[in-house]
Structure 1
């Protein structure tokens, strides 16, 4: 065993310190050093992919991927390299297929009908699907459309009818109906006809992993979104993210003016218990993969038909989860990295415990 970990990052982006790497990367390196291991940051680029691959094979037991999806123009080459590293025996934290299966917006659609997600959720992969079905779902009430790519609320739209009374009893909203559209990026409001908006959304369906998630708007988002930070199968922190008080605000990002409160898991015990107890179901529904090292599940409060509070899953993030407000978690993360690598070292790679 080499007792060395490579941490992949991308150059640039709003998630970096003045020294170029993520603020919560250095604590992981220091915590590993305190345990007799070493670690280093490598800034990935497609141009240097071959050299980075050879270096990692030679030096590292594992990699930790800390690249936000939006910080690479195209993830294809990066994911190809990660897959080959895993194939050659480097432990992937996480494996790229885990990032895709847990981090894509269609996770919510794949979990619909469970205790975490209502049945009124759809994914569109083709333009015709969006054009034919969205006017019907919009007739049920306000919706939220989410693109698969982007971050900080970009391409996440609250969709309202400007004159809902006009279409009160219709089964399908006509293309000339005027919409009020609020983007979660900064809570700005636009107006488009339904036909214009559907044409606009075509961009979200283009390219690799293009899709749109369609789910009901939950008014209790104004009470706040609840993010559970998971270290493998245990909740380690909860963030309560309350949108700005302005009338149209629904975004729970700091960039859009939301306020964050950081709580202990036991302050949200009922929800945490539900997440942790749902893990076997999550793994089964999402391909049987090993859990990501760090991942988050975002919930919005809703009310069921009996008047009881329920938590609805809005999305899962697993590609590059930060913990800059809980830097002490680096100790737990370092322990988990070491334990995973040491466990893998005694398993025959031809017959792994999990699919990957």
Structure 2
């Protein structure tokens, strides 16, 4: 065992600081080193893939991915292939492409729609034809939110409502809307609003479906999102803190990103016992629906407040993410030390299991 962990990044992107790293990358590296292991950053470029594989497979026991796949020039395919090669070579992956696709893809919501976590009318569109066929009817039931699979910080996430409120009130649910219906479309990245006709807006959204891993998730708008989004951040199985993200005030504002002016407040998991207990109870079902309980190293679950049939508070899952979770505002909470400890323990557990296997054979 090398007692070494590599941390992958890509060059450029809005998530980088002046030193070229994400602000939360070097704290992880330094925490691993403080624990007595070697750690370093390697930048991924598609043209370096073979050399990176050789260097990393010969010198490291594990990798930690701090790459937003949307920032990779040429797409994520080559990067995912590298990570898979490294796992096949015996390295511990955190997170693996399989985990990113299971926990990080937006259609995780669709896979969970038969649970109490997600509304049953949530849908996903994997091709342009099904989107154009179904969305005009979906919108007849009320406001919707469309979420692209790629991107981050609210890019390509649209709140969609009929512009004419009298028209909206007169529509029979289940009746497809005419393509010239005027819509008010608000993008989560900055809460800007555009007025578009339905047909033209769907044509615009085709870009989110076309290409590798392209798709759109269609989910009902949860009005209480204006009260804020509640994010649980976990390191492995452990909830570390809860972030209450309240959108900036404004009639159509719904985005809970810092870019859009949302206000963040940070709590311990103990401050949200009902939510944390509910999520812990749902974990086995989440694992079953998403294809196995390979818990990501760092991951989040975002919830919105809603009302149950009796008018009591309940929580609706809006997103799970594990591809490249940021935690720059929480570095003083010691999260990097928890990440280092769990990453090292996963490598040690794997090597201990391999050693037992050798003895048994």
Q: Do both share a fold (TM > 0.5)?
A: yes
Q: Does 1:59 align with 2:52?
A: no
Within-5 A mapping of 1:205-284: 205-284=209-288
Partner of 1:70: 70
Query: Following TM superposition, by how much is the alpha carbon of 1:201 offset from its aligned partner in structure 2, in angstroms?
Result: 1.1
Match of 1:287 among 265, 274, 291: 291
Partner of 2:150: 149
Q: Does 1:340 align with 2:346?
A: yes
Q: Point out the structure with the larger helix share.
A: 2
TM-score, L = length of structure 1? 0.96
Partner of 1:27: 27
8 Å Cα contact 1:233-1:279 kept in structure 2: no
Q: Distance in 2 between matches of 1:16 and 1:126?
A: 33
Q: Distance in 1 between matches of 2:28 and 2:126?
A: 38
Q: Distance in 2 between matches of 1:337 and 1:311?
A: 31
The number of equivalent residue pairs is 350
Partner of 2:123: 122
8 Å Cα contact 1:98-1:289 kept in structure 2: no
3-state SS of 1:290 partner: coil
Query: Following TM superposition, by how much is the alpha carbon of 1:348 offset from its aligned partner in structure 2, in angstroms?
Result: 4.3
8 Å Cα contact 2:284-2:293 kept in structure 1: no
3-state SS of 1:326 partner: helix
8 Å Cα contact 2:100-2:322 kept in structure 1: yes
3-state SS of 2:326 partner: coil
Q: 1:178-201: CA deviations, max 9, x gaps?
A: 111111111111111111111111
Partner of 1:354: none
- 4+ runs deviating over 3 angstroms: none
Q: Which consecutive residues of structure 1, in runs of 5 or more, have no partner in the other structure?
A: 352-356
Q: Distance in 1 between matches of 2:326 and 2:160?
A: 30
Partner of 1:100: 101
Q: Which consecutive residues of structure 2, in runs of 5 or more, have no partner in the other structure?
A: none
Q: Does 1:191 align with 2:229?
A: no
After superposing the two structures, state which structure 1 stretch, 333-342 or 322-331, moved more.
Answer: 322-331
Q: Distance in 1 between matches of 2:118 and 2:349?
A: 34
Partner of 1:138: 139
Partner of 2:82: 81
CA RMSD of aligned residues (A): 1.3
8 Å Cα contact 1:234-1:276 kept in structure 2: no
Partner of 1:302: 306
TM-score, L = length of structure 2? 0.94
3-state SS of 2:330 partner: coil
